[in-house]
Amino acid sequence: MKASNGTGSRRLLSLVGSAVAAGVAATVGLASPAMASTAVTIGSGADLSGWQTILGGSTFAATGQEPVTGTDVSADDRRSYTSLQSNVGRRGVMADALSYTRSTGASMMNAIHKAGYSFQLPSVPSTAGGALNAQTVEGGMFVWDGANTRLDNGAAFQWVLNPWLPNFGQIRVWSDTNGGTWIPAGYLKPDTAWHSVTFQVNPMQQQVEVTLDGSVVAAPYTKLPKASWGSDVSARLQVEAISLWPGSAATSAPAHEVLVKDWSWTADVQQTEAEKAAEQAAAEQAAADQAAADKAAADQAAAEQAAADAAAAAEQAAADQAAADQAAAEQAAAADWAAAEQAAAEQTAAEQAATAEQDAADKAAAEQAAAEKAKKGQDKAAEKARKAKEKAAQAAAKAKKAQEKAEKALEKAKKAQERATKAAEWAKKVQERLRAAIARAVAKASKKFGK
């Protein structure tokens, strides 16, 4: 099973009856994947529209015949099925019509592929001859790992349809023994009924399963190198129709036709251990980053709260100091006011004393006037007048002192008023400095913590 233009001599010999290695490799059941997967539909269709049809590797040209080319094979899409034909010109050749569809991508090696189709012979091959006869019908599914191992991984079946061969009707499966060969795996009587084949290929577990008409065919998982193939990674589903071996001197040979329909292909892409580890590492990193971010946010919030508490404490302390300064200023003002009131009281008392003294002086003057007016009096009256005069002089002196004391009290009250004014101005300056200090503390905290 290969999509190339080689001669396929090893395969040709097996088809015409040469001995091959015996034995059947048992198929291991495909286990359910333990890793995460994503189901992808590669494609489906009633016929093979969109598939590529090329000349396969199992070709032969009898003596005198032109080499087999792509013009000797064809695929006719008829909506409900495709007619795949080889040796369409009925020349003395054996032609290999290979039709396939392919999906490319690294994930193809990390997927469980499930695919299949139905096929039918329009007539039963017979030694009686006729326009149609056959060598084989073949099909398979493979994943080419050109990027890493450069191995073609997969499985294939072959239905032997050459009526002259003793193993006519035999089902064989592809093996990678001795560089690739077919080994017996069962029997299917040639007929014109529709048959179905399904393939399940798991490159990661190196497991395959081939089912023919609902029965599992024991097929091995094969891995074969392809030296000239590319470096891509691609999976392919394929079907082949190989025309009858014509003989070494044939000038003509019958065509071969197989009908194919209802194909489908899904890929259950698995998560590799490396991808799983990377995803886990990413999740753990994300969790760590989130934890770090949460801690940073908490630290920032705590720092901001501490700054706010410090600012509030500073503001409260400043407010308390301002209140204390205000209270002291008010107490000083009250003391000065009391002193001023005391001075005012003393001034009033002095004024009252001066009035009394003035009244006494007035009275003495009146008496002196009376004494002078009378031009009489006794010594007692004269003495009284003298004493009254002395008393008046004393009263005048006392009044003068009271006046001086009142002036000093007024001066003291004036100075107390000035001190009160200065205290009020100092309290106002203290409040302004307090507000500026609070503003600087808040600005400094905001700059420190990024707000």
111-167 pLDDT per residue, tens: 999 999 999 999 999 999 899 999 999 999 999 999 999 999 999 999 999 999 999
- Yes or no: say if 384 and 374 are a contact pair by the CB < 8 Å rule: no
Q: Give the CA count within 13 Å in the CB-facing half-sphere of 217.
A: 29
Distances (CA, A) of 295 to 46, 220, 288, 302, 343: 61, 57, 10, 10, 70
- How confident is the model at residue 201, as a pLDDT? 98
pTM for the structure as a whole: 0.58
Whose tokens are 């129709």? That residue is 241
CA 117 and chain centroid, separation: 41
- How confident is the model at residue 96, as a pLDDT? 98
Distances (CA, A) of 172 to 87, 321, 355, 357: 23, 104, 152, 155
- How confident is the model at residue 157, as a pLDDT? 98
- How confident is the model at residue 103, as a pLDDT? 97
Task: Give the separation between CA 47 and CA 26, rounded to whole angstroms.
Answer: 32
- How confident is the model at residue 340, as a pLDDT? 62
Task: Give the separation between CA 150 and CA 91, rounded to whole angstroms.
Answer: 37
**Residue 57: what are its φ and ψ, rounded to 5°?**
-90, -10
> CA nearest 73: which of 50, 89, 49?
89
Of the chain, the end-to-end C-alpha distance in Å amounts to 72
203, two tokens: 């490159």
Whose tokens are 């501490």? That residue is 306
Task: Give the separation between CA 97 and CA 105, rounded to whole angstroms.
Answer: 26
**Residue 181: what are its φ and ψ, rounded to 5°?**
-160, 165
- How confident is the model at residue 280, as a pLDDT? 66
pLDDT tens per residue across span 228-247: 999 999 999 999 999 999 99
- How confident is the model at residue 14, as a pLDDT? 34
- Side chain identity at residue 371, one-letter code: A
- Yes or no: say if 118 and 148 are a contact pair by the CB < 8 Å rule: no
Give me the residues of the chain with pLDDT under 70, please: 1-37, 272-283, 327-329, 332-340, 343-345, 349-350, 353-354, 356, 364, 370-371, 374, 377-379, 381-382, 385, 388, 392, 395, 399, 406, 413, 450-451
Q: Which residues contact 82 (CB under 8 A, 6 or more apart)?
A: 47, 48, 49, 51, 75, 76, 99, 259, 260, 261
- How confident is the model at residue 316, as a pLDDT? 87
Taking each continuous run of H as one helix and of E as one strand, the counts in the chain are 3, 18
289, two tokens: 């980053």
Task: Give the separation between CA 185 and CA 47, rounded to whole angstroms.
Answer: 28
Output 3-6 pairs: Cβ under 8 A, ≥24 positions apart. Answer: 3/54, 3/56, 3/57, 3/98, 3/100, 3/236, 3/238, 4/56, 4/57, 4/228, 5/55, 5/57, 5/59, 6/57
